[in-house]
Chain A
Amino acid sequence: EVQLVESGGGLVQPGRSLRLSCAASGFTFDDYAMHWVRQAPGKGLEWVSGISWNSGSIGYADSVKGRFTISRDNAKNSLYLQMNSLRAEDTALYYCAKDSKWELPPDAFDIWGQGTMVTVSS
C-alpha cells in the first residue's frame, strides 16, 4: 500500500524549533520529488517547500525561506522539515505530499499523508 506517514508535530513556543518527519512506503521513494504543504485551521492549502529526487533542487515559499529547511534520506525513505524561529502564523496541519515526477518545479501531488499538527503558542 502506498503510504506517507508524518510525525514530529506538537506544541512549541514562538522562536523555538521543531523537526517534522515523513515516512514513505509502497513506492520507489527516490524516483520522485517530495513536498510539504500546510493548512492553517479553517484555511486553505499553502505549499511550504519541495525537494527533487536527488536533493539537487529545492524550493521554499517566501513565508518560510531562511527559517525552514527541507531534506530527504533516500536510504531511509524519509522526508524531513526542520523548522526554526517558529511563529504563531506557522500554526497549521503539515502534510507530506508525493509529486508525480522527479524534479522541480512542482507538478501534481498524487499521494498525501494524513498530516501532523504544529501549534506555535506561548
Chain B
Amino acid sequence: QSVLTQPPSVSAAPGQKVTISCSGSSSNIGNNYVSWYQQLPGTAPKLLIYENNKRPSGIPDRFSGSKSGTSATLGITGLQTGDEADYYCGTWDSSLSAGKVFGTGTKVTVL
C-alpha cells in the first residue's frame, strides 16, 4: 500500500553496521527531503534523520542518512542491542493530497 519500499528486516551482530534502503519515485523521494524514524517496541516513533542527512540534537552520529535519485538509505554503525526497533522512512509525495508518506518499515535485529 505504501509508495515507499523498505526491506522487511535486516540483522547484524553487535558492533557491526546495517543499512536500510527506502525506494520511491520522482514524485516523492526524487524531489523532496527524506526523514527517518525509529520506533522502539511499544513506544512512539522518534525522529532520527531529517532533510536527508541531518541529525536532531541528541541523536548519536552512529546514525546517518543519504539520498540518491529516488532512493534513500539509513545507516547504523556500531550496532547496539538498544537499536533493535522498527525504522521508517518518510517524505512528501506531490502526487497525493498534500500528504506525507511513510515507508513499509524495517525491523532491525541485533544478533
Contact = CB atoms under 8 A, between A and B. Distances in A.
Interface residues of B, number: 29
B99 A61 contact: yes
B82 interface: no
A68 interface: no
B96 interface: yes
A53 interface: no
B92 interface: yes
Interface string B66-106: 00000000000000000000101010101011111111110
A107 B98 contact: no
B104 A110 contact: no
Contacts of A108: 33, 35, 47, 50-51, 90
A9 interface: no
A47 B44 contact: no
A115 B44 contact: yes
Interface in A51-66: 57-62, 65
Contact of B100 (A50, A62, A65, A112): A50
A100 interface: yes
B46 interface: yes
A24 B97 CA distance: 26
Interface in B27-48: 32-33, 35, 37, 39, 43-47
Contacts of A110: 47, 50, 56
Contacts of A111: 47
Given A44-B2, A108-B35, A112-B44, A57 B98 contact: yes
A77 to B, nearest CB: 19
A113 interface: yes
